[in-house]
Amino acid sequence: MSPLEFTLTLLGISVGAGFLGSLVGLGGGVVVVPALTLIYGIDIRYAIGASIVSVIATSSGAAAAYVKERLTNLRVAMLLELGTTTGAITGAFIAGIIHSRWLFVIFGLALAYSGVAMVRRSQRRGEAVPSDGWADRLRLHGSYFDEVRGREVAYRVTRTRLGLFLMYLAGLISGLLGIGSGVFKVPAMDLGMRIPIKVSSATSNFMIGVTAAASAGVYFVRGDIDPFIAAPVATGVVIGALAGSRVLPRTDSRLLRLVFVVVLLVISVQMVWKGLR
């Protein structure tokens, strides 16, 4: 394969990954890293380095829109970024020292979890929100405009310390595997801190860019970000994600999600297999 063929095919795969990712609510990283390692046989650390850069690009692009719509809780985001960024540099550091076979295994397991989390229904929330001194003192509570209900909806935030700890773990996975790990951040805010799902998603997206920047710094200085691999991945994923967000309102995503879950599980098995072989 010539470098030109490599660039063009990888660009195509990245556009597809970004497109599908934005339709089902996952980033492109979960597709890009397996594609680079399994199809092109690229070193997994280079694959992760390329993917983490594309994560910054897609997250920042989407976050720009959400912040304008005032769906993002900026105070919660800034506070929890303490957890995600320290987790991210921990993860990026670990990725540099462990044997790459374990990166394959952990990546495979994270993929399987992402697939399961996509189909699992979110829990009903009947009970009252327990009060939390930290959330009161830091003034984390907020409100957002709910388009379906047509009015401003106020919410209270709880379990701030648990949230911070879970964000450290989410950041660690993001830094270790080069994925946005929104699939770990959203439940921590939604189920743990009781933040409405729309606000949780927007705030998670906002934090993903900063989280990824923290680990990307480590990967860049270590020399694990190969410009020739990262260039088509970053541009392709962003183009795909933009296209996906255009058609998203007109798509019935249920069947698509189901198909995507099956694909994720198949890739997951292949990644684990490659690591253990």
Q: Which residues in this chain contact other proteins in the complex, by CB under 8 A?
A: 1-4, 6-7, 40, 42-43, 45-46, 53, 56-57, 59-61, 63-65, 67-68, 70, 74-75, 78-79, 81-82, 85-86, 88-89, 92-93, 96-97, 138, 209-210, 212-223, 225-232, 234-235, 238
CA distance 176 to 180: 11
For other proteins, the closer CB: 163 or 209: 209
- Helix (H) / strand (E) element for 182: namely helix 182-187
For other proteins, the closer CB: 128 or 154: 154
Closest distance to other proteins from the beta carbon of 118 (Å)? 26
For 213, how many CA atoms within 13 A lie in the half-sphere containing its CB?
10
Closest distance to other proteins from the beta carbon of 146 (Å)? 15
Residue 244 contacts residue 18 (beta carbons within 8 Å): yes
DSSP code, position 98:
S
Closest distance to other proteins from the beta carbon of 276 (Å)? 22
For other proteins, the closer CB: 73 or 158: 73
The residues, any chain, with a CB within 8 Å of residue 84's CB and separated by 6 or more, are 167, 168, 170, 171, 174, 185, 207, 210, 211, 214
Two structure tokens written together for 229: 């691999």
For other proteins, the closer CB: 237 or 264: 237
Partners of 153 in beta bridges: 144
Closest distance to other proteins from the beta carbon of 126 (Å)? 31
Number of residues that this document lists for the chain: 277
Closest distance to other proteins from the beta carbon of 218 (Å)? 4
For other proteins, the closer CB: 43 or 146: 43
CA distance 161 to 174: 20
